[in-house]
Amino acid sequence: MAYENILLEIEDRTALLSINRPNALNALNADTLLDIKNAVLAIAEDPNVDVLIITGVGNKAFVAGADIAYMQKLPAMQARAFAILGQEVFRLIETMDKPVIAAVNGFALGGGCELSMACDIRLASDKALFGQPEVGLGITPGYGGTQRLPRLIGEGRAKELIYSAININADEAYRVGLVNHVYPAESLMAEAKKLAKIISGKAPLAVRLSKNQVTRGMQADIDTAMAIEADLFGLCFATEDQKEGMAAFVEKRKADFKCK
Ligand code: HXC
């Protein structure tokens, strides 16, 4: 499929999706959201891909937010639909089976911060800047920021960032638990690919079931979450990879996982 506003390449069982509107600091308009949606749907089905990395083209921005020029004159119901579109696309990223790493290479503001939060793992360059500047524009976050930020860094810190529109740098994002690691800008992509390769060396189906357990379990009460875990743990024993993984351990050799 041809995409206008993203680049998509697949290498080494990892898909790299780069938001490609550098002249607008990779701001998200509806067309870009639809490109991301179509790419994620394709990657979810692609047997050659285990892990998805999302980043932004250029060395300045991951995504500087939803496109303000596009939103400026939207009537209320269209603005609502624009929020719902982004929410649906980000939820697709969050709930797709395959793990998603955000390689945050610069500004991750508003919708950009929200996109990164829909990913499973956030790695940041030391140049990254995170924030929810919406209230400075007379709007609220609309792509899940008011929900995912408090879940990730706690309600008090999230409210402070959202109410004040203060941006935080990569070190502060690391300190509050918004990002897993901070790397020098020039090594960010290599580190993201290194992590993707480690993940894709494990049993792919087990990784996907683990994501499913965490993502669904985090939204459920503890008893439901434990039941989800037990069910999917049990399901692993219906796979060749469980037999191979355990046989390899007992035989002191490297496992050769097959289930894609
Ligand atoms: C549209 C944007 C943009 C955005 C940057 N640009 N951010 N266009 N939407 N979110 C454009 C600029 O207009 C400019 O275009 C070009 O990108 C370069 O940006 P500059 O401002 O010249 O760069 P710089 O001075 O380095 O400042 C970088 C910046 C600033 C601090 C990131 O651009 C900025 O504050 N951007 C807006 C950030 C923001 O408020 N994001 C949240 C949006 S609301 P020209 O043509 O002049 O060169 C949101 C809501 C999500 O995300 C939910 C929706 C439902």
Mean pLDDT of the chain: 97
Residue 114 appears among annotated catalytic residues? yes
* Ligand 1 touching residue 28 (CB < 6 A): no
- Report pTM: 0.98
Q: Per the residue annotation, which of 4, 134, 160, 186 is the catalytic one?
A: 134
pLDDT beyond 90 at 52: yes
Q: At what angle are helices 204-218 and 240-250 packed, to 10 degrees?
A: 110
pLDDT beyond 90 at 258: no
User: For 66-122, what is each residue's pLDDT tens digit?
Assistant: 999 999 999 999 999 999 999 999 999 999 999 999 999 999 999 999 999 999 999
pLDDT beyond 80 at 260: no
Output the CA 25–ligand 1 centroid distance in Å.
6
Q: How confident is the model at residue 1 (pLDDT cuts 50, 70, 90)?
A: confident
> Is CATH 3.90.226.10 correct for 6-200?
yes
Looking at residue 259, its pLDDT comes to 79
Tokens of 94: 């969050």
Output the CA 243–ligand 1 centroid distance in Å.
51
Domain range summary for the chain, segments of one domain joined by +: 6-200, 204-250
Residue of minimum CA distance from atom 4 in ligand 1:
67
Q: Whats the size of the chain, residue-wise?
A: 260
User: For 192-223, what is each residue's pLDDT tens digit?
Assistant: 999 999 999 999 999 999 999 999 999 999 99
Contact yes or no for 51/15 (Cβ under 8 A): yes
Output the CA 108–ligand 1 centroid distance in Å.
10
Residue of minimum CA distance from atom 9 in ligand 1:
67
Please identify, in words, the CATH class of the domain defined by 204-250: mainly alpha
Ligand 1 atom nearest the C-alpha of 114 is 51
Strand-by-strand arrangement of the 168-169 sheet? 61-63, 107-109, 129-131, 168-169
User: For 165-195, what is each residue's pLDDT tens digit?
Assistant: 999 999 999 999 999 999 999 999 999 999 9
Contact yes or no for 217/228 (Cβ under 8 A): yes
What phi, psi does 74 have (nearest 5°)?
Answer: -70, 135
